[in-house]
Amino acid sequence: MRQLPHMNDLAAKPGVHVVTLYAQVHQLEEVEEIVTKNGIKYPIAMDSFWEAGFEAPVLPNVWIVGVDGKVLFSGRSDYDTIIESELAKVKYPGLGKAAVHKEVEAAAKAFGEGKYAEAYKLAEAVYDNTEDETAEADANYIMERIDDRLGTLTVRAETAEVMKNYRLAMSCWEILATNYKGLDDAVEAAARLKKLADDKTVQNEVAAKRELLKLMMSLDVYFQDVDETDAEKVIEFRKKCLGEYRTFAEKYKGTGAADNANDLVKVFEGLLPEETKPEEKPVGKPPEEGK
């Protein structure tokens, strides 16, 4: 908790990317309250700590991944010097180049500051007018870098829509509409974002996803009071999870959240001995009398 304000400061530094891997056991509302109270804007990966492959003797723990993709530090404090040392290697955050031709420096600087429309315009001007091949190549590199980012974000947004992951889709469209405003390929982003935000089906899907996460975290909290050495208690807990996810899948039928819940149903069906599985309630209309 004491580190959160400092993490906000780090996340605001160009070139630094902060991601939290949540590995505690609380109700969703408690986590949301902390996020709001502390003004956290960086991503928080829920239920993803162990899947990320990181190990820590105690929590919280901080890992610093350097510009070469290698973990440079793992610990709880005294990591600012390492961060500053790595940042010194990054003149133009996100560009992937530490140096460019002097004619292209203004474009590279704008790119590093997140002014992508300005960077593209400056690079394009150099590309069209320079007589220096190196300057032309660097200018083209910047334009291609921006085009690649635009393409990646657009594909990610459109794919997320198909997968009914609307929060991710809206996040991508918002980045395109805000950070890439002024570029032709980002023109439709604001309209796509508004269309999703105003769509009742999307609103229901987002709400259903939140309810599923809320249920999952609630069951995690419940499990803390289960004696793991008592086989019967563990079976009862698994039966509870199976029943809760079946009920959720039926209630939110037709949503991506229901599909996710059904995946969890299969998981818990596989964890229970056949004779202990709760009977599945029939779905649909009752038979007519006499039939």
| Domain boundaries along the sequence of the chain | 4-87, 102-198, 202-276
Does residue 161 surpass a pLDDT of 60? yes
**How many Å apart are CA 191 and CA 200, to the nearest integer?**
16
**How many Å apart are CA 159 and CA 36, to the nearest integer?**
29
DSSP category for residue 275: G
Q: Of all residues in the chain, what percent carry a pLDDT higher than 70?
A: 92
| Nearest residue to 242 via CA among 205, 209, 202, 271 | 271
> What number does CATH give the domain 4-87?
3.40.30.10
**How many Å apart are CA 208 and CA 259, to the nearest integer?**
11
Does residue 285 surpass a pLDDT of 80? no
DSSP category for residue 98: S
Poorest-confidence range of 28-42, 128-142, 267-281? Answer: 267-281
**How many Å apart are CA 16 and CA 48, to the nearest integer?**
21
∠ CA(32), CA(214), CA(223), 5° rounding?
A: 110
Instruction: Give 55's pLDDT tier (boundaries 50, 70, 90).
Output: confident
Instruction: Write out the two tokens for 257.
Output: 């959240």
Helix H segments across 62-165? 80-87, 105-112, 116-129, 133-162
DSSP category for residue 286: P
Does residue 283 surpass a pLDDT of 70? no
**How many Å apart are CA 224 and CA 228, to the nearest integer?**
9
Do β-strands 44-45 and 20-21 pair in parallel, antiparallel, or remain unpaired? parallel
Any idea which residue has 């004779």 for tokens? Answer: 275
In order, the DSSP letters of 189-251 are HHHHHHHHHH-HHHHHHHHHHHHHHHHHHHHHHHHTTS-TT-HHHHHHHHHHHHHHHHHHHHH
| pTM given for the model | 0.81
Determine contact, residues 180/116, Cβ cutoff 8 Å.
yes
Segment (H or E) for 36: helix 28-37
Give residue-wise pLDDT tens across range 197-255: 999 999 999 999 999 999 999 999 999 999 999 999 999 999 999 999 999 999 999 99
